[in-house]
């Protein structure tokens, strides 16, 4: 069903998942399009970002942000057009970045909007390389990872929107970059297009051995977004005073219990102590919002110079969002996953 000028489609959280999300956890609803009051604007969604953090918002476990309520609209960053305005800061047809979530229309008072100009060349980039994923890669690597020329940088999820950017920034800063991805096609892309020195398939039976061979002098920076067996293989290779920025642990988002097997905590804490490893989590806009302009200017320059390559995985239709999101958590996407909610 295409976007309507009379009806607002909303995808809401129907139930909290136990383990991996399924279609039944989502429900599509139809309601009248809201109308702006004085000081407000009515936004029409053109692009919707799908990101792993949304799995955490589906749970009511304690986290850094409140969960989505049952029957609440699923959260998400959006790129929108202004279709009606009673706010002097915005006019009809303006492009803005917002957080409408999984729906066609939403009201804003303007405080949560980022203006994208009258005619941005690639408006969806505000959800990826020039938005939260690119910003995460930039600040996590440069401020926490602090890469130095000649160091070895290992990047999990190497062809995802964060990992692909981390690896390319690492090359700009003179690092030896080893990517980890799922499948031969993604690994070839990381090397041949993104410029990684090598990329390893984490599905390989001898993945740990391959990683050790690819990092003969150990690992100085490991950019963590996955966890699981990738981190298990990385941990013994971390050098003294290695840095580990942590922006996610997607391998564990669907866990309903602690992993089976031996308790890994003593070996992890022992390695952190002996090697003085710096492991630091961060929430990008909570911790670095004041440095967004710095990131935006630098990344825009790198893109214009062709020093950073960027790939989108574009899905058409709001109704496809649940299926695409479920696939995202299974590693089916190739690049930044974006839903084109409407043609514009």
Instruction: Tell me the pLDDT tens digit for each residue of 116-137.
Output: 988 889 999 999 999 999 999 9
Assigned domain for 58 exists: yes
pLDDT of 87: 97
pLDDT of 65: 86
Examine the domain organization and report whether 97 and 13 are in the same domain.
Answer: yes
* Residue 202 burial (C-beta neighbours within 10 Å; 0-12, 13-18, 19+): buried
Q: What is the pLDDT of residues 257-306, one digit of tens each?
A: 877 788 888 999 999 999 999 999 999 999 999 999 999 999 999 999 99
Examine the domain organization and report whether 42 and 144 are in the same domain.
Answer: no
Assigned domain for 211 exists: yes
Examine the domain organization and report whether 165 and 202 are in the same domain.
Answer: yes
Q: What is the CA 42 to chain-centroid distance, rounded?
A: 27
Examine the domain organization and report whether 160 and 180 are in the same domain.
Answer: yes
Examine the domain organization and report whether 152 and 233 are in the same domain.
Answer: yes
pLDDT of 63: 83
Examine the domain organization and report whether 194 and 213 are in the same domain.
Answer: yes
Assigned domain for 291 exists: no
Strands 312-316 and 336-340: parallel
Q: What residues in the chain have per-residue pLDDT under 70? A: none
pTM of the model: 0.91
**How many residues are given for the chain?**
344
* Residue 169 burial (C-beta neighbours within 10 Å; 0-12, 13-18, 19+): buried
Assigned domain for 261 exists: yes
Q: Could you tell me if residue 183 is left (phi over 0), alpha (psi between -120 and 50 degrees) or otherwise beta?
A: left
Assigned domain for 178 exists: yes
Assigned domain for 84 exists: yes
Examine the domain organization and report whether 223 and 278 are in the same domain.
Answer: yes
SS3 of residue 220 by DSSP: strand
pLDDT of 278: 98
Q: Are 108 and 80 in contact (CB under 8 A)?
A: no
Q: How far apart are CA 322 and CA 224, in angstroms?
A: 26
Examine the domain organization and report whether 91 and 177 are in the same domain.
Answer: no
Examine the domain organization and report whether 154 and 198 are in the same domain.
Answer: yes
Examine the domain organization and report whether 18 and 84 are in the same domain.
Answer: yes
Examine the domain organization and report whether 80 and 206 are in the same domain.
Answer: no
CATH number at residue 98: 3.90.180.10
Domain count, the chain: 2
Assigned domain for 173 exists: yes
Tokens encoding 92:
């009809």
Q: What is the CA 45 to chain-centroid distance, rounded?
A: 19
pLDDT of 133: 96
- 52: containing domain: 7-128+311-340
Tokens encoding 305:
């110079």
pLDDT of 252: 79
Which residue, of 267, 285, 303, is where some domain finishes?
285
- Consecutive H or E run containing 229: helix 228-234
Q: How far apart are CA 41 and CA 89, in angstroms?
A: 10
């Amino acid at each position: 069903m295409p976007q309507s000028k009379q009806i607002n489609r909303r995808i809401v959280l129907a139930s909290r998942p136990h383990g991996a999300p399924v279609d039944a956890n989502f429900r599509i609803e139809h309601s009248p399009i809201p109308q702006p009051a004085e000081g407000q604007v009515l936004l029409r969604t053109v692009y919707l970002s799908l990101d792993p953090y949304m799995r955490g918002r589906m749970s009511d476990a304690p986290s850094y942000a409140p969960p989505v309520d049952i029957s609440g609209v699923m959260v998400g960053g959006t790129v929108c057009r202004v279709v009606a305005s009673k706010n002097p800061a915005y006019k009809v047809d303006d492009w803005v970045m917002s957080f409408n979530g999984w729906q066609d229309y939403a009201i804003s008072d303007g405080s949560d909007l980022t203006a994208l100009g009258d005619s941005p060349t690639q408006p969806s980039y505000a959800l990826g390389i020039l938005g939260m994923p690119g910003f995460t890669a930039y600040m996590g690597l440069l401020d926490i990872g602090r890469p130095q020329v000649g160091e070895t940088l290992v990047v999990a999820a190497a062809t995802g929107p964060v990992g692909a950017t981390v690896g390319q920034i690492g090359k700009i800063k003179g690092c030896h970059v080893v990517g980890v991805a799922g499948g031969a096609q993604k690994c070839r892309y990381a090397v041949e297009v993104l410029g990684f020195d090598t990329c390893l398939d984490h599905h390989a039976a001898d993945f740990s051995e391959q990683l050790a061979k690819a990092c003969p002098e150990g690992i100085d920076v490991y950019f963590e977004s996955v966890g699981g067996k990738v981190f298990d293989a990385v941990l013994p290779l971390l050098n003294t005073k290695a840095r580990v920025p942590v922006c996610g642990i997607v391998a564990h988002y669907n866990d309903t219990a602690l992993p089976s097997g031996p308790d890994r905590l003593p070996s992890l804490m022992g390695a952190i102590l002996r090697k003085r490893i710096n492991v630091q989590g961060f929430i990008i806009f909570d911790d670095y919002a004041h440095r967004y302009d710095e990131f935006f200017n630098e990344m825009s320059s790198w893109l214009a110079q062709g020093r950073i390559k960027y790939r989108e995985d574009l899905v058409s239709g709001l109704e496809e969002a649940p299926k695409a999101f479920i696939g995202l958590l299974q590693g089916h996407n190739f690049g930044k996953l974006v839903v084109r909610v409407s043609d514009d």
